[in-house]
A and B are shown apart, each in its own frame.
Chain A
């Protein structure tokens, strides 16, 4: 079966968090505390064992890159030409928000899957990365191995959890709950190949309209070799770090060979050291 995934187009995200709610509801996820971050409208904070969609709010000086795109004449009406809407783009242009609905990236080379010692984490027929809860023994290896900080262990449950790409819904021929709930199609679900085309077209359109900053994050192995590309990729308009995305994430399996080689050399050195000392002392002579 072809790979399924998400395109998350951050330029049309309105930060409504319907995706967060739909995900919680469908997957019956427990609450993860009612935290007030004090930094922005984002009081969810980050992805975790019980948060599989997370809307980030990046408050920045200046206008939003797509400011002026919206045709609001219908709103202003004929009677009040030039009147500013009561909401919408900030009229002063002093600041704006970037909003992004973050999710498990379902990496083509997934660190969590590669390091899982129990075989609990598998690649499904949709090419998504799925944790089998009946097998996970909560060793925590995947938590440390994910270069995006997605997967986490639920403390009261002891097992690792993350986005399943709504495996159950996909099995039933439905799209994931977050994409279904997204009112602006910021979250688009589909075949990854087609999503890539849609995304490239969207980037081209944005560039034509002067949003030079628009680019795709993780859409292919070429742009993100450390993960082999992401099945859930993003259209961003600023450096990935602002969205809490790493600029060059790497599946640790790519580099762990260095460590194994060093371990082999160390092992030989240990044997040589012990043998050497015994030789220097000779027989016990008792």
Chain B
């Protein structure tokens, strides 16, 4: 080093020793971009073809979640759909729909228990699962979800068990409460995956809740369809299923487009690899289920149609959840999926980040 190279600090963290820092900043400032610049692109020294990465290593960490997380997404969806259908059935005609209400409550209670077990199983320290209820943190989708699931578990269990304990009115109140909690329970999981740095999840954050919500309803009707239903109940689940599956397919297309709109690289896991295969399988199975439901059949074949449609729909719902999960893993592994969309928007007037500063609030949201 030559003599005029500034020596920054010595030992012991003596950072106050920036001798003459102020003077030097005022003079010799030529060419130095003023603070507040928005363009932080710099000429690259290593001008190579293709976009730069660090030896093609991932830029972000892969989610550490295991199979039980997408399995919970499905289970939570069944719970949400069942709790909602049960609550509305109870409001419309409590006695007339008694069979539906009971089955829905059973599904919801069993599902919350199983779903909670799935989530605890995924934890690095399962014995500390109650720490989830240690704080209430609105910025954390997982915190909000934990509280929602805890409340849902309680109300669903109460709604399912209280009638046999001689408290049907209390059970009805619990059933209604579970129904109120159902929409957040069925959609927060989509918010949770968007509450990450994973490109494909982050980029589809506006579209994913519709997919998860529709999938929740359709998987609940499929689960009900696999139970013993009478003709009237079958009509109900079939109609809800048709609406939900149409929504599910439409939402899947919206998710693909949202990813494509951000960057081709971001959408790639929905086309290629394990996640791409699962994604196509999900759409195929859901469409098959929908077509089967719409197929006019003689009365004696109706229960066969119901079972087949329910099986296809269940496969579709499970494949949807696992496709979304694996797409996130693949997306996290691809450094260009992280870098390229950021590079394209960086410094742009419409960047998320620029907007946030403009609004001057921490919670301000913008578009990427």
Contact = CB atoms under 8 A, between A and B. Distances in A.
Interface of A: 7, 9, 37, 39-40, 45-46, 48, 56, 58, 60-62, 65, 69-71, 109, 111, 114-120, 135-141, 143-154, 157-160, 174-175, 179-180, 185, 188-191, 194-195, 197-198, 200-205, 207-208, 212-213, 215, 217, 220-226, 236-239, 241-244, 246-250, 252-263, 265-271, 273-281, 283-286
B22 A197 contact: yes
Given A119-B134, A149-B58, A266-B183, A140 B213 contact: no
Interface residues of B, number: 137
B260 to A, nearest CB: 17
Interface in B311-356: 328, 332, 335, 338-339, 342-343, 345-347, 351-354, 356
A7 B15 CA distance: 11
A274 B9 CA distance: 67
Interface of B: 1-2, 4-9, 11-13, 15-16, 18, 21-22, 24-25, 28-33, 35-38, 40-46, 51-55, 57-65, 80-81, 84-85, 88-89, 92-93, 95-97, 100, 122-126, 128-129, 131-132, 134-135, 137, 139-143, 145-146, 182-184, 186-188, 190-192, 194-198, 202, 205-210, 212-214, 216-217, 232, 235-236, 239-240, 243-244, 247, 328, 332, 335, 338-339, 342-343, 345-347, 351-354, 356-357, 362-368
A143 B247 contact: no
Given A137-B132, A260-B191, A207 B32 contact: yes
Contacts of B140: 114-117, 141
The 10 closest A-B pairs by CB, nearest first: A138-B124, A190-B15, A284-B96, A158-B124, A267-B183, A225-B353, A244-B54, A137-B128, A119-B135, A257-B365
A16 B318 CA distance: 50
9 contacts: A120-B131, A144-B197, A201-B21, A205-B5, A207-B30, A207-B32, A213-B45, A259-B205, A269-B210
Contacts of B124: 136-140, 153-154, 157-160
B46 A61 contact: yes
B195 A263 contact: no
A225 B54 contact: no
Given A213-B43, A237-B45, A241-B53, A258 B367 contact: yes
Contacts of A191: 15
A138 B125 contact: yes
Contact of B194 (A137, A242, A255): A255
Given A111-B197, A137-B123, 16 more contacts: A48-B61, A109-B362, A116-B140, A141-B196, A144-B332, A190-B13, A194-B16, A201-B24, A207-B30, A250-B202, A253-B362, A254-B365, A256-B191, A269-B213, A278-B92, A281-B232
A225 B24 CA distance: 27
A241 B51 contact: yes
Contacts of A37: 55
Nearest to B357: A225
A224 B45 contact: no
A146 B54 CA distance: 18
Contacts of A225: 351-354, 356-357
A174 B13 CA distance: 7
B335 to A, nearest CB: 7
A202 to B, nearest CB: 6
Given A244-B54, A252-B194, A238 B183 contact: no
A46 B57 contact: yes
B186 A270 contact: yes
